[in-house]
Amino acid sequence: MRVTHLSLTEFRSYESVDIEFGPRVTTLVGRNGQGKTNVVEAVRYLSTLSSHRVAADAPLIRAGAARAVVRARVEKAGRSLALEVTLNPGKANTVRIGRAAAKPRDLLGTLRTVVFAPEDLALVKGDPAGRRQFMDELIVALHPRLAGDLSDYERVLRQRSSMLKTAKNARGDLTMLDIWDEKLAEIGGRIVAARRAAIGALAPYVKSAYAAVAPDGGDCRVSYATSLDTPEALAADASAATIAARLLERLGELRPKEIERGVTLAGPHRDDLDIALGDLPAKGYASHGESWSCALALRLGSYDLLTADDGPDADEDGEPVLILDDVFAELDSGRRTALAERLSEASQVLITAAVAEDVPEALRGEVLTVTTGKVTADD
């Protein structure tokens, strides 16, 4: 799988630009603020309908523009496919796949990407919210239909949390709260089951990737941390229905505390991804270099898992496009070399860097120079 052409209209700093990508590796070089990250951000947006830099769409639309359009042509399984998203501020975005209009959710899974960016250090050092987002992006890449469950879960969680805030004055009538409990548990069970399965499958790839980029750095391990009392409360192969039943039970156990505090205290929104170096949690114990290696291993492990994915939802030629956004300046020479060796067989890698010399020559590929509003190929 690879992106062969990208067209941006009123996206970020670009009024209009067309970019051709050659095979294998493309490096976008430019000073900070020139727009190189905006290019790979657009590719990522076509993959996930989200940015790896901001939470909302509004900053993606060029100042003063009525809308932004991102178009790409993707080679996949021997055929060429056109993808298009129009970002409409204050309205629903519109999507086209080929010549046909489609629902935004239908785009998910068509183009797979894995992005490694400076913000990924927060996966190790930051709050659980970032790690939950990492897991949710992974399960949607593996099973695009789960995007609907994630959206429905957020809606039910808001409704239930709102009801908890008013439950003190409900004078004992909690019938509607019981209904929301059942719906939350049903959807939450599917999400937790998918996350646990994905992290179980990811773990050996993370271990292998960490050993490659930090050969003297010990053993990096990942596991799923549940809010359902203790991990032992659920068998490793527990079904979605079993997890849903346990979640419903846990909500009943916590209801007095939840009513007192006005928040939902169990469910996938309270879970986490545990990252450990040896027997110690990476957060708080890993050095800066070790933290970078852990973050890189998470992304490379995700890339390897998606490349190897042969599940029922897998597409032919599902190898992701790998995006390395301004990270080489953060890595020492050993990690740079190890990363270059690791990616020698990748179908497509898009790299951004302030100067070409930050990127190992073996991984530099075709170089495009980015200046304000323009992208040109080096002679």
pLDDT at 227 over 70: yes
- Rounded to an integer, the average pLDDT of 323-351 is 86
The predicted structure's pLDDT at residue 312: 64
Q: How confident is the model at residue 172 (pLDDT cuts 50, 70, 90)?
A: low
DSSP 43-96: HHHHHHSS-SS-SSSGGGBPTT-S-EEEEEEEEETTEEEEEEEEE-TTS--EEE
Give mean pLDDT, residues 325-333. Answer: 85
Q: Is the pLDDT of residue 374 over 80?
A: yes
Residue 69 has pLDDT above 90, yes or no: yes
Report the DSSP beta bridge partners of residue 95: 85, 102
Arithmetic mean of pLDDT, 115-127: 94
Average pLDDT, the chain: 91
Q: How far is CA 329 from the centre of its chain?
A: 22
Average pLDDT over residues 32-49: 95
Structure confidence at residue 237 (pLDDT) = 83
Q: What's the rounded Cα separation, in Å, for the pair 309 and 319?
A: 9
The alpha carbon of 41 is separated from its chain's Cα centroid by a whole number of angstroms, namely: 12
> Between residues 170 and 164, which one has the greater pLDDT?
164
> Where is pLDDT greater, at 310 or 11?
11
Residue type at 24 in one-letter notation = R
State the average pLDDT over residues 294-302: 95
> Is residue 149 scored above 70 in pLDDT?
yes
Average pLDDT over every residue of 324-329? 89
**Average pLDDT value for residue range 36-49:** 96
For residues 98 and 76, give the distance between their C-alpha atoms in angstroms, rounded to a whole number.
Answer: 13
> b/e map of 80-106 (b: 16 or more CB within 10 Å)?
eeebbbbbeeeeebbbeeeeeeeeeee
In this prediction, residue 337 carries a pLDDT of 84
Q: Say what the pLDDT of residue 214 is.
A: 85
- pLDDT tens for 184-211 read 999 999 999 999 999 999 999 999 999 9
CATH topology of domain 1-112+319-379: Rossmann fold (3.40.50)
Cα(83)–Cα(98) distance, rounded to whole angstroms? 6
Model confidence at 8, pLDDT cuts 50, 70, 90, reads very high
Of the chain, the end-to-end C-alpha distance in Å amounts to: 26
What's the whole-number mean pLDDT along residues 4-17? 96
| Average pLDDT of span 30-57 | 93
- Choice between 309 and 134, residue whose per-residue pLDDT is larger: 134
In this predicted structure, what is the pLDDT of residue 364? 83
Mean local confidence (pLDDT), 8-17: 96
- Return the residue matching tokens 């009123």: 10
Looking at per-residue confidence, does 337 or 27 come out higher? 27
Q: Taking Cα atoms as reference points, which of 95, 41, 37, 48 lies closest to residue 69?
A: 95
- Name the one residue in this structure whose structure tokens are 């523009």: 65
Dmax over Cα atoms in the chain, in whole Å?
A: 76
pLDDT at residue 180 tops 90: yes
Q: Left if phi > 0, otherwise alpha if psi is -120 to 50, otherwise beta: which for 220? A: beta
pLDDT at site 331: 82
Percentages helix, strand, coil for the chain (3-state, rounded to 5) are 45, 25, 30
| Rounded Cα distance, 100 and 134, in Å | 31
